[in-house]
Amino acid sequence: MLEPIIFSLMFGLILGPLAARSSQRRQPIYGGMVAQLLHGLGAVLMIAVIPMVLANLIVGNGFLSSVVLGFGTLGTGFLVLVIFAAVEKPALDAQSTVQDHGWTKEDAHTSGL
């Protein structure tokens, strides 16, 4: 059972940071180093789920074992990402200090429409 876990975590360690970096390009992380670490770890675990299940089936550990291992890894990844969200939310709220007051009469006059 150890070989599929090691194989999938190596696979996740290669592709997980690429997925995390792609996500950070779309939306920056403001929670600091802890948030970036949790985000990266969550990406590694999420990427590792499918190779772990497939490697476990190929090794011959059985279908039920593969499903349990896959859902365990998926659940751990979700838990890490929920903790990431708890760390990131206050920093994201502090970053968005601009409040939207809606469309005002002054905005209508200056818009040129």
pLDDT tens digits for range 18-30? 999 999 999 999 8
pLDDT of residue 109: 82
pLDDT tens, residue by residue, 75-95: 999 999 999 999 999 888 877
Question: Is residue 97 over pLDDT 70?
Answer: no
Residue 100 has pLDDT above 80, yes or no: no
pTM across the whole model: 0.78
Say which amino acid occupies 66.
Answer: S
Helices (H), 29-113: 33-59, 63-95, 105-110
Q: Which long-range contacts (CB under 8 A, 24 or more apart) does 62-71 make?
A: 65/1, 69/1, 69/4, 69/5
pLDDT of the residue at 94: 79
What pLDDT band is residue 51 in, cutting at 50, 70 and 90? very high
Higher pLDDT residue, 97 or 65? 65
Q: Is the pLDDT of residue 31 over 80?
A: yes
